[in-house]
Copies of this chain bind each other. A is one copy, B any other.
Amino acid sequence: METYTGIPEELKFLVLKRIKPTEPEREKLLVIQEELASQVKAAAKKLDVPGVLVKMVGSAARGTWLSGTHDIDIFISFPEETSRKELETLGIAVARDVAKHAEHVEDRHAEHPYLNITYKGFDVDLVPCFRVASASQIKSAVDRTPFHNDFVKPRIKGHEDEVLLLKQFMRGGGVYGSELKTQGFSGYLTEILIIYYGSFENTVCAACTWKPGEKIDIMHHSEIEHEEPLVVVDPTDPRRNVAAALSLDKFCMFIDHCREFLKTPELSFFFPASLLPLGDTEILEKLESRKSTQLAIVFKTPDVVEDILFPQLYKMEQAVAALLKEYDFTVIKTGVWSGKTETAVMLELISGVLPNVKKHVGPPVWVKVHAEKFKEKYQVAAGVFGGYIENGKYIFEIRRKYPMAKGLLEDRLMTCSLGKQVQQSVSEGFKIIENAGICRLKDPDFRIYLRKWM
């Protein structure tokens, strides 16, 4: 593989200085990991659960975590022949025993239950899993993780800094994180990219000419076709695309981020200036300058995890835009913001007001039965302005039911197909806020979002 140079060493040095865990930080993590591993083993023994092994996985185990993050993933591995039910009860029992020493405990649920605890300031996941022979034989999605660990750990040795640079660079570009909110690059994906391309620089240079359909298959063992823009075949599972969660736009944003960075390699691509909340005066100025119509649909934030909430919000965004379009409003763009208490679906329209008159195009005059029915219906309808023939078709100028986008949404938002929790929250109440009314939303995080939006 060709090796690119051109990114100043000092720049990488400066970045690493800020993101690479210090020696004391590493030592502390190691100590904590050991403590927790011992506690898991002790708990299994105490509860008389045989065959349990402890697996340290994730970036903490591989030395590829960013300084300041305090995540530890501990997998409690059961023999393959364990039943799902047993795994769940015994696994959680062991985890709960460990959690006795924690500052905070939370029951969480992926494909099966696990515990998330805060332990000496670290955010620790205690995850029961099956010990299967290969990643293609997994019984639950989490069973794959130990295989990832086994693949990455020996190959990433000596290249940890490159992973850190790439992760921070992706953070700076807003494309790091494979949760459903972000739809970006996962940590495992960045590690595979570094293993494949050899370095941060090579990855960035290669990405500049990526196209949708780009395929990386380190083990040359791909078994199926994938539709996603980037296909990175999982080295531990020939049927899985590691980049399946990456959206087209995040894929493109990364390409764009790489190109811009190579033009002017600067620290800001890793650490963009933090945005200030948009003030009321600025909002009013921007409204006046754009002269479009801004709408916000505001409702109580549903009490669910982001991986459930955001897909529902994105779905709502689509459904609302389709509703507005159906009633002739032109949507410039849509967006979603969700804070602790309130959530807003944002819409920018060419105009929130349409004329009362609406041109309703009917069938061609010569399609006799249809045409006559159409004409009979509309020539007597209430509020019809007039009718004529254009391009061989009956046209009636009828009265528009919803000349205001706000009224349309107030009246018909609930007819949109919404996700369960969002539907529930919206049905309990929502507000449609228009233009300057947006100043009523004071949450600083929303105001930061607004700065990008407007």
Contacts and interface: CB of A to CB of B under 8 A. Distances in A.
A355 B351 contact: yes
Contact of A292 (B252, B357, B394, B454): B357
A210 interface: yes
B356 A252 contact: no
Interface string A357-379: 10100001110100010010000
Given A351-B351, A366-B212, A391 B357 contact: no
Interface residues of A, number: 46
A51 B370 CA distance: 60
Interface in A244-269: 248-249, 251-253, 255-256, 259
Interface string A379-411: 000000110011110100100000100000000
B354 A390 contact: no
A24 to B, nearest CB: 41
A442 interface: no
A296 B194 CA distance: 65
A332 B351 contact: no
A355 B350 contact: yes
B354 A350 contact: yes
Interface in A277-332: 289-293, 328, 332
B249 A391 contact: yes
A209 interface: yes
Contacts of A211: 366
Nearest to A260: B375
17 contacts: A209-B368, A210-B366, A248-B392, A249-B389, A249-B390, A251-B392, A255-B365, A256-B375, A256-B389, A289-B356, A290-B355, A290-B357, A292-B355, A293-B355, A332-B355, A332-B357, A351-B351
